[in-house]
Amino acid sequence: MATDEKLHFVVLPFMAQGHAIPVIDFAKLLAERRDVIVTLLLTPVNHIRVKPILDRSSDRGVRIPVEELAFPAQEVGLPAGCENLDLVPSSPLMVNFMAATAMLQPQVEALLRKMRPEPRCLVADTCFPFASEVARKSGIPRLLFHPMTCFTYLCSHHIVTSRILDTVSDEFEYFDVPGMPHETRFTRSQVKGMADPETPGWVEFNDKLIENEKAAFGLIFNTFEDLERTYLREYEMVRQTRVWSVGPVSLFSKELGDKVSRGKSSTVDVDQCSNWLDAQEPGTVVYACLGSICNLTSSQMLELGLGLEASGRPFIWVVGFGCGDEDTKKSLQELLAENGLVKRVSENGRGLVIFGWAPQVLILSHRAVGGFLTHCGWNSSLEGISAGHPVVTWPLFADNFYNEKLLVDVLRVGVRAGVKQSMDYGKGRDVGIQVRRDDVRNAVEEVMGEGDEREARRKRAAELAEKARKAVEEGGSSHANIGKIIEEVRKFNKDSS
Ligand code: UDP
């Protein structure tokens, strides 16, 4: 087929790790299909970050060209080069980051006009409400990529439309979400990351997101049918649009290099990390990582590390600095040095502490790992599910508490560390120490220890991993859905030409 007859998808990832990683995985999956070409729209800094991933893809014969978008960081008061949420120097500046993102619309429109072969579909992250208008002006269908789980969106839809929060006076009082297919109990504090009608401007913002969803040709979720069938079907009904599950997208990466190159370069030597894991007994290691924008206070981070040490199990602990200002980073480093924790565990070989960025998917897929302490970002949650690990849940903000609910109460593969209060994503509020080292130790024991209940949890986790693996295999639901998406887009273009 001549290049200009191929179906051209243009993919616009949002510049935050938890959004860009799955969207770029999805772009690769599209590009691997016959008669499809994919162009990525990236800002220069993000282009540099994902270049190794695209080069690997190109080496395998799947070329994904990039068109660059100039990011107006300085125009909104951000430092030059601040082009990813994890580079924003302090939490209050996240608003400026979002303002810069919204300013990309004219550039995206201009690029779509000049690209050849002509774009036939725009795939954009949910954080680009302007994508709806861009696609309309270009006369092409738009797919909206949701980086979170369908369960979260369905819960937040029912919370907002039922106005249940009007009846809840206390931040920590439990209420049941009306309309869910099973009992789903939350507190106001837990749900406000996705449903916060009291915050000025929130309702208008949410209305825009809903309009953006309804106007989409279809919604894409990084999940799989066997995990979320009921929620996917329900969401299709409430939004009256097509809904496809295409995940876990991380499982399509089978080669070592693909598992290592995700998001950005690892700050630990990958051989050192693999050698340390190789030296551990199967299923004994706890991997602890709180995602790409963890904003725990220094004292809470130390308490977490001390809890891992107290668990008596070997562990890998990722101390990330995403979205913390320089003072926070310095204070954490000083506190850790003063306590001697890092020195102790590296000297006695009990732990590997990674400052910065870990090759998470590689670590989770190592046979030595037996449990995952996670902040319950959806990508991490799904990567844990895909690797068959029971989890200790430590939600921070946004959708994290919804994912904790799914992991602990619905799928029953998780144990709560005991976080009650959201971290107020975007403000960096100090909520004090919520989880003590003993809580960490007990939750780790619950996940890693012996006993019928613990074995049953491990079995459930292993069964889910098997279902996830089947979903991405040829003939599996996610694999098939990618084909269906392409066919529907092709049909739309044919019918409208
Ligand atoms: N990640 C990683 N190394 C790290 C921290 C995070 O590879 O040290 C990846 C992780 O595998 C996941 C993504 O970054 O794919 C984080 O997304 P998630 O939705 O879990 O959380 P967020 O960072 O958006 O809060």
Token pair belonging to 312: 């008596």
Give the closest residue (by CA) to ligand 1 atom 6. 291
The best mutation among 287, 316, 360, 397 to test binding of ligand 1, ranked by most ligand atoms within 8 Å of the C-beta, falls on: 360
Mean pLDDT calculated for residue range 24-42: 96
Q: Which amino acid type is present at position 367?
A: R
Query: How many Å separate Cα 204 from the centre of its chain?
Result: 25
The best mutation among 149, 290, 292, 375 to test binding of ligand 1, ranked by most ligand atoms within 8 Å of the C-beta, falls on: 292
Ligand 1 contacts CB of residue 132 (under 6 A): no
Say if residues 253 and 259 touch (Cβ distance below 8 Å).
Answer: yes
Residue 185 has a pLDDT of 98
Strand partners, 68: 42
Say if residues 358 and 266 touch (Cβ distance below 8 Å).
Answer: yes
Ligand 1 contacts CB of residue 125 (under 6 A): no
Ligand 1 contacts CB of residue 292 (under 6 A): yes
Using pLDDT thresholds of 50, 70 and 90, give the confidence band for residue 439: very high
The DSSP symbol for 224 reads -
Helix (H, G, I), strand (E, B) or coil at 21: helix
- Pairing assessment for the beta strands 174-176 and 185-187 based on DSSP bridges: antiparallel
ipTM of the complex: 1.00
Ligand 1 atom at shortest distance from the alpha carbon of 358: 8
Residue whose structure tokens are 């292993």:
462
Q: Phi then psi for 204, rounded to 5 degrees?
A: -60, -45
Ligand 1 centroid to 379 CA: how many Å? 6
Give the closest residue (by CA) to ligand 1 atom 13. 18
Using pLDDT thresholds of 50, 70 and 90, give the confidence band for residue 427: very low
Radius of gyration of the chain from its Cα atoms, rounded to whole angstroms? 22
| Residue 487 burial by Cβ neighbours in a 10 Å radius (0-12, 13-18, 19+) | exposed
Ligand 1 centroid to 115 CA: how many Å? 32
Ligand 1 centroid to 353 CA: how many Å? 17
- Pairing assessment for the beta strands 369-374 and 391-393 based on DSSP bridges: parallel
Ligand 1 centroid to 377 CA: how many Å? 7
Ligand 1 contacts CB of residue 361 (under 6 A): yes
Give the closest residue (by CA) to ligand 1 atom 7. 360
Token pair belonging to 472: 């991405």
Mean pLDDT calculated for residue range 480-490: 97
Highest mean pLDDT among 192-206, 327-341, 420-434, 474-488: 474-488
Q: Which amino acid type is present at position 383?
A: E
Strand partners, 166: none
Ligand 1 centroid to 396 CA: how many Å? 13
CA distance 405 to 152: 9
> Around 376, how many Cα atoms within 13 Å sit in the side-chain half-sphere?
29
Ligand 1 atom at shortest distance from the alpha carbon of 396: 25
Ligand 1 centroid to 139 CA: how many Å? 35
Closest CA to 249 of 89, 13, 451: 13
Ligand 1 atom at shortest distance from the alpha carbon of 292: 23
List, for residues 197-244, the tens digit of each pLDDT value: 888 888 888 898 899 999 999 999 999 999 999 999 999 999 999 999
* Per-chain mean pLDDT for the chain: 93
Task: Give percent of the chain above pLDDT 90.
Answer: 82
Give the closest residue (by CA) to ligand 1 atom 2. 360
Using pLDDT thresholds of 50, 70 and 90, give the confidence band for residue 1: low
Highest mean pLDDT among 11-15, 191-195, 265-269: 11-15
Token pair belonging to 486: 């392409």
Given a cut of 90, whether residue 322 has pLDDT beyond it is: no
Ligand 1 centroid to 395 CA: how many Å? 13
Residue 2 has a pLDDT of 61
Ligand 1 contacts CB of residue 180 (under 6 A): no
Higher pLDDT, 231 or 496: 231
Ligand 1 atom at shortest distance from the alpha carbon of 22: 15
Ligand 1 contacts CB of residue 293 (under 6 A): yes
Question: Mind listing the domains of the chain with CATH numbers?
Answer: 7-251+473-491 (3.40.50.2000), 264-470 (3.40.50.2000)
331-351 burial, b at 16+ Cβ within 10 Å, e below that, comes to bbeebbeeeebbeebeeeeeb
List, for residues 121-134, the tens digit of each pLDDT value: 999 999 999 999 99
Ligand 1 contacts CB of residue 425 (under 6 A): no
Does residue 282 have a cis bond before it (omega within 30 degrees)?
no
258-292 burial, b at 16+ Cβ within 10 Å, e below that, comes to bbbbbbbebebebeebbebbeebeeeebbbbbbbb
Helix (H, G, I), strand (E, B) or coil at 9: strand
Say if residues 394 and 417 touch (Cβ distance below 8 Å).
Answer: yes
The DSSP symbol for 409 reads I
Given a cut of 80, whether residue 46 has pLDDT beyond it is: yes
**Could you give the residue ranges of the DSSP H alpha helices within 185-224?**
188-191, 202-214
E strand residue ranges, 59-156: 66-68, 121-125, 142-146
Ligand 1 contacts CB of residue 85 (under 6 A): no
Ligand 1 contacts CB of residue 21 (under 6 A): yes
Ligand 1 centroid to 213 CA: how many Å? 25
CA distance 196 to 178: 16
Say if residues 65 and 58 touch (Cβ distance below 8 Å).
Answer: no
Sign of CA dihedral 249, 255, 260, 263: negative
